[in-house]
Amino acid sequence: MKMWAGRLREPLDAGFERWQRSFGFDRRLLGEELAASRAYARALERAGALAAPETKTILDGLDRLEKKAAEEPAWLDASEAEDVHHFAELGLVELVGEVGSKLHTGRSRNEQIATDLRLYVRRQLGEIRGRLADFIEVFLARAGGLGRTAMPAYTHLQRAEPVLAAHWLLAYAEMFFRDAERLADCAKRVDALPLGSGAVAGAPLALDRAALARELGFAQISANSLDATSDRDFALEFLHGLGFVALHLSRWAEELALFSTAEYGFVRLPDRFATGSSALPQKKNPDALELLRGKAGRVLGAATALAFVLKGLPLAYNKDLQESQEPLFDAADTVAGSLAVAAGFLGAVEFDRERMQAAAQAPFLNATAAAGYLAARGVPFRQAHAAVGQAVVYCLEKSKALETLTLDELRRFRPEFDKDFYDALKLEAVLAAHDVPGGTAPARVEQALAEAKRRLESLRADALRVKEPSAHA
């Protein structure tokens, strides 16, 4: 029997009944539903709505329900429950009798799903941040292993200046550190308990909501029952946070895919994360990277889908909100899986250090250093820039490099060129010249790596502090 069947004279259309059920996807919230129900049972006892023996029976029944669901997946598969709340109520009554139905006293599914989703998002925030920490750790390990290996940095997909390969990897670590920080900030808005809000106007019982919040690990209770039961902005914010993770994964995957091509040749794809071609026997395809790139659209689309669900809803709860769950679950699953694959790939990929180093010394990557040489001798930078640009044109016409020009040739463009110019164009000098915080000078990169390791320790400690319901909740 439906929870609300007393109001209707006719049974639901069979097609509509199947179509509107959510248990197929919201069953994953069963753990959150049971945790909230345990805390609510004790709150009912404190409010005088349950006798102590009834509370014990209900709590024992919830434990049995959880155990049976874990041990007998077919029990869930066979259920005709409308949603996870209906399943929990039916299962509890099946196990302990009608006393189980008293658990719903003063409680609405509107507040139940809001509570379950906040518990779910809070747990996912901890898990995703933990996976980000794992991924960042691989970046730092690979950066440390590359030592003084240099590579070209690119602007407009053209070689610009040499940087340490470790500096390049740390650039991505910075992106993922920011993603973890955004998710931590999102947790502040998640950390408010809706339970006790009732269907729309607040619970009709003298519930100790502060005690409920403590048991379930929330920092505060929601301030308004209309808002608490009807908004999913916390979930949308979480999805936007996941969107940034997916976006940065996509950028990284794109660059690795490019660098794996024969045209670049900086990385060699690990067999464990590549596939072949059914038609082209010579191929090794970067499928892992391509899927990471493609799945970003799926995650970003989830945020858009939820935003469109929310944008036109009047207060308070509307059934449209059921459509918030699948995008949320799918995006969380996608990002968690993507981070695991990305970390495995990065740990296994081979860097062709010789090719990277050679590319870093290709002609004209030291052109900016040449302009800097002139500027250090009093030439206004725009004039220095123009002179080096003219020298580059000359080199291209003569099939030369800047460092192979004679002093007489150089002084055609500026008289300030001198013998020490050639040392200034050596790769080591070019790298060392960028001696500022955040720059690619080797000493600065070593400092950045050490600081990143310290930040990683802090991130790990913070991710482990994600609050879960107390052991007796």
Instruction: Give the pLDDT of residue 12.
Output: 81
- Helix (H), strand (E) at residue 52: helix 52-71
Strand segments, DSSP code E, in 117-224 are 150-155, 158-164, 192-193, 220-221
Task: Say how far apart CA 292 and CA 250 lie, in whole Å.
Answer: 6
For each of the chain's 473 residues, which pLDDT tens digit applies? 565 556 677 888 889 899 999 999 999 999 999 999 999 999 999 999 999 999 999 999 999 999 999 999 999 999 999 999 999 999 999 999 999 999 999 999 999 999 999 999 999 999 999 999 999 999 999 999 999 999 999 999 999 999 999 999 999 999 999 999 999 999 999 999 999 999 999 999 999 999 999 999 999 999 999 999 999 999 999 999 999 999 999 999 999 999 999 999 999 999 999 998 889 888 899 999 999 999 999 999 999 999 999 999 999 999 999 999 999 999 999 999 999 999 999 999 999 999 999 999 999 999 999 999 999 999 999 999 999 999 999 999 999 999 999 999 999 999 999 999 999 999 999 999 999 999 999 999 999 999 999 999 999 998 776 655 644 44
Say which CATH superfamily domain 367-424 falls into.
Fumarase/aspartase (C-terminal domain) (1.10.40.30)
What confidence score (pLDDT) does residue 469 get?
60
CA–CA distance, 173 with 161 (Å, rounded to integer): 20
The dihedrals phi and psi of 433, each to the nearest 5 degrees, come to -65, -20
Distance (Å, rounded) from C-alpha 267 to C-alpha 276?
17
Taking the C-alpha atoms of residue 392 and residue 112, their distance in angstroms, rounded to an integer, is: 69
Active-site annotation, residues = 156, 277
CATH of region 110-359+451-464: 1.20.200.10
Q: What is the reported pLDDT for 256?
A: 98
Q: What is the pLDDT of residue 277?
A: 85
The CA distance from 171 to 160, in Å, is: 16
> What is the CATH superfamily name and number for domain 12-105?
Fumarase/aspartase (N-terminal domain) (1.10.275.10)
Residue type, 443: A
pLDDT (0 to 100) of residue 280: 86
Encode burial over 160-174: b for 16+ CB neighbours within 10 A, e otherwise. Answer: ebbbbbbbbbbbbbb
Give whole-number Cα distances, 17 to 12, 23, 113, 318, in Å: 6, 12, 20, 17
Domain ranges of the chain: 12-105, 110-359+451-464, 367-424
Cis peptide leading into 288, omega within 30 of 0? no
What is the pLDDT at residue 398?
Answer: 97
